[in-house]
Amino acid sequence: MFSIFSSYLQDNVFDLNTKKIKKEILNMKTKNKGVILSNYGGWQSNSLEKVLKNFIDLFDKINTDVKEVEKNLGLEKKLILKNYWCNINYLGSFNRPHSHPGGVVSGVYYVSIPKNSGNLIFENFTTHTETTYSFVKKYNQYNSSKWFVVPQENLCVLFPSYLIHYVEPNLSNEERISISFNYGF
């Protein structure tokens, strides 16, 4: 079963300045060549642990959502931010299938998302949907072998770190910018 939690972090509700966040990420890119992990053709920052000044409001909001997930999961320990990184996908860039070992809850926050810049796809290998759910009227995130999220600016998607996921290629001439993160013990 998929357990994907998502919430809209809207500027008018949380007063987030996505322009400031985007500027910080673009500035980071000029100072850091980045790493290649699941990304293909894009830029990914080094892993960060200390929350940068321009990201404090964002992580305050994410922490609130993670606390709700923590409560719903019935965890005995508190989840803490373990690390985060910034992503820029250019035309043709994508992220290969991967999971986030060592995390409990992972997520992505979408900073700048042009149209046709690639969906976030989750794969569920824990069920045999073809046989187990062969009589389903309509497939959804609980009974599908794949489920996708259409990214939007200010959308934050939280999911179990073990879920295999990938990002489709960016088919836009504009940059797709996001921040990914892991929470654990």
Integer Cα distance of 64 and 68 in angstroms: 7
| C-beta atoms surrounding 132 within 10 Å | 11
User: How do 80-89 and 120-123 pair as beta strands?
Assistant: unpaired
What pLDDT, in 10s, does the model give residues 39-51? 999 999 999 999 9
| C-beta atoms surrounding 59 within 10 Å | 17
Number of domains in the chain: 1
Give alpha helix (H) positions in the chain: 11-14, 18-31, 56-73, 129-132
Residues of the domain holding 123: 5-184
What pLDDT, in 10s, does the model give residues 132-171? 556 677 766 666 677 888 998 888 999 999 999 999 999 9
For position 50, what pLDDT does the model report? 97
For residue 54, what is the DSSP state?
G
- 165 φ, ψ (degrees, to nearest 5): -150, 165
pTM recorded for the entire structure: 0.89
Determine the 3-state secondary structure of 65 from DSSP: helix
Integer Cα distance of 53 and 60 in angstroms: 12
Integer Cα distance of 16 and 11 in angstroms: 5
Higher pLDDT, 180 or 11: 180
For position 2, what pLDDT does the model report? 40
Average pLDDT over residues 65-71: 89
Take residue 110 and report the two structure tokens written for it. Answer: 């979408």
CATH no. for residue 42? 2.60.120.620
